[in-house]
Structure formats: structure tokens, C-alpha cells
Structure 1
Amino acid sequence: MGCVLSILPASVTAQGKPVPYWASIRTEKAFMRVGPGPDFPIEWVYKRENLPITVVRRHEGFRLVRDPDGAQGWISASLLSETRTAIVIGDGVAEMREKPSADAKLLWRVEPGRTGRLGACKAGWCRFNTEGHQGWIPDKKIYGDGEPAK
């Protein structure tokens, strides 16, 4: 008897995940619509690959999402990824350190609005990788960590 290996895109595997959950925009351009379908008007155009968003509801092939600014609307599930990302927020730069400590060596200064892959978080710090620059950033300086708000 043979073994069948099924490879599905992350957007398909996320369908059974309880909401809310974190996701990110997988493409360079994504439309947020006022309703769950391609015939609904476009409310926002996102030109931000890897932008972290919260999925708050599902309807067939669309997801009701909330962006970092609190805007809500529907995006096709095919444009979303389960890859955990974060965006630097707040005023001023975020200091990226070699270790999760304010006393650790300063590696980079990261401007607000920069997105990147989110790694492990501990003791108020999160591992962050943006365009090959990686280190630890205080969790209060990023959106996309912890449990998503309901």
C-alpha cells in the first residue's frame, strides 16, 4: 500500500485554525474589500508584502482581517500566509540587539514601518529578521507578537 503526500498552500491549512489568528499578506499587492467576494468594492489596496494582520472571521475563500491600524475588511485567503511577521511601530527607531537585553550589543536601528519575520519572543523581546538583518527588538516596538486581539 502506497503513501500519499499532500502538499497544500499555507492559506488552505489555516482554514481549520480557530479565529482570531495571525497571518500576513503574501503578495506585493492585496485588495481589502467591503465584503467576502471578488464582486465587492475595494476599500483598501495594500502594497506591503509581509504586513501582519489578524484574521477574525472566515467566509468561503475570504477572510475578514484587521490591519495594524485597526482597519477591517475582507481579503482573499489566497493572498494570505501563515508566516508570522511583525511591523515596527511607534515613534522613533527600534533598537535591534544581539541578545534579548537592553544591555546587549546594538546591531541595528530599525525605522517604524519596517516589516520582517517574527521569531521567538521572551521576556519582553522578540527575534526579528528584516531583509537579512536579524536580532532582538523590544516587543512594545512591534505589532504582530503575542496572541491576536479578539
Structure 2
Amino acid sequence: MAAVLMTCGPLGAAQGDEARGPVTNLPLPRFVSLKTSEGNVRRGPSLSHRIDWVFTHRSMPLRITAEFGHWRRVEDNEGQGGWIHYSLLSGVRTVLVEEDMAALRTRPEPDAPVLAQAQAGVIARLGACDADWCEISADGGDGWVAKSALWGVDPDEVRD
């Protein structure tokens, strides 16, 4: 595993610099989503490695932690994962609601009216985020949810 982690960032990167993938030059780690309804996750970055895991939820948010050729090392909200072919991944950002009955509010404010509640396990499309709130949409509804109730967005991430 240590050898894989060493390939994550550019050689000679100064401490504090954002790690970049050696294949895409995109930030590591970063979030993506599963493009298909089924994705084989392998022990290593090739078809010859055994399948350890199968992700079965289309649009499931995943965190890319490493790159090797056409393969990406991913993990889910529980830290489970392995290597998956890049063609099974999408740049569309989604999140997983981790707090049961998370309130979807009209505005990014704790006292804003509640539009709906989301059960834990709901996968939603990610919209704008400020320091503490993210706008999400799922099943035709949308609203603002406390960022702390979500997995698939970094705590310090801000999105327009």
C-alpha cells in the first residue's frame, strides 16, 4: 500500500501543497460518483487483480485517493474500496445523507423553514455549498442541508 500512496502526488511537492494525481493532475483526494449501477472494485489496478467489492448504487459518491493509468483507487463513506476503472466514474458530484431525517431547509440557515427531511442513505446531487451548508436535490425535491449531515463534500469545500 505504501508504494501506491507514494504515486499520489507530484515528486518534490512542498509540504502544504495540494496533492495532484500523476495521471490527471487533478487534486487528490477528490470526490466523484459511480456512473453505472454496478462497478467492480479490484485489489489492484488491472483486470488481472481479483474483485474484492462491487458497488451497486448508481450515483454513489466516492473519494478518489490515488491514480494509476486508467485506474482510480476509490473509497466509500465507510472507507471500503479498491481500484476501479475510470470509465465507471463520473465527475458529477453527489453526496450521501448520513444523518437520519436531515432537514432540508429553504435557506442555508439553522432557523429557515424545513421543506422536507431526508433519510440516512439517500444519495443526492450536490449543488452550491458555503462554509456550513450545501444545497442538494433528490427525488424532485431540493433544499439546504447542514454540511455535517453529508458525506461526499469536504468540510472546508465551498461551491457556487
TM over 0.5: yes
Q: 2:142 aligns with which of 134, 138, 141?
A: 134
Contact 2:147 2:155 in 1 (8 A): no
Moved more, 135-144 or 35-44: 35-44
Gaps of at least 5 residues in structure 2 are: 1-22
| Aligned equivalent of 2:80 | 71
**Match of 1:16, SS?**
coil
Q: 1:50 aligns with which of 31, 45, 59?
A: 59
Distance apart, 1:123 and its partner CA: 3.9
Distance 1:63 1:123, change over 3 A: closer
Name the CA distance, whole Å, in 2 between partners of 1:122 and 1:82.
20
- Deviations 1:65-116 (Å, cap 9, x if unpaired)? 11110113001100001111100003x3101011111211111110000001
* Aligned: 1:19 with 2:28: yes
User: Normalization by structure 1: what TM-score?
Assistant: 0.83
| Aligned equivalent of 1:84 | 93
Q: 1:31 aligns with which of 17, 25, 40?
A: 40
- Computed over aligned residues only, the root mean square deviation of the Cα atoms, in angstroms, reads 1.6
**Match of 1:15, SS?**
coil
Which letter does structure 2 place at the counterpart of 1:18? Answer: P
| Aligned equivalent of 1:97 | 105
Which letter does structure 1 place at the counterpart of 2:47? Answer: P
Contact 2:64 2:73 in 1 (8 A): yes
- Deviations 1:6-36 (Å, cap 9, x if unpaired)? xxxxxxxx82313211111111111111111
Distance apart, 1:147 and its partner CA: 6.2
Query: Size of the alignment, in residue pairs?
Result: 134
Name the CA distance, whole Å, in 2 between partners of 1:19 and 1:100.
28
Which letter does structure 2 place at the counterpart of 1:28? Answer: S
Report which structure shows greater RCO (CA 8 Å, sep ≥6): 1
User: Normalization by structure 2: what TM-score?
Assistant: 0.78
- Identity, % of aligned pairs? 33
Distance apart, 1:52 and its partner CA: 1.0
Q: 2:122 aligns with which of 94, 106, 114?
A: 114
Gaps of at least 5 residues in structure 1 are: 1-13
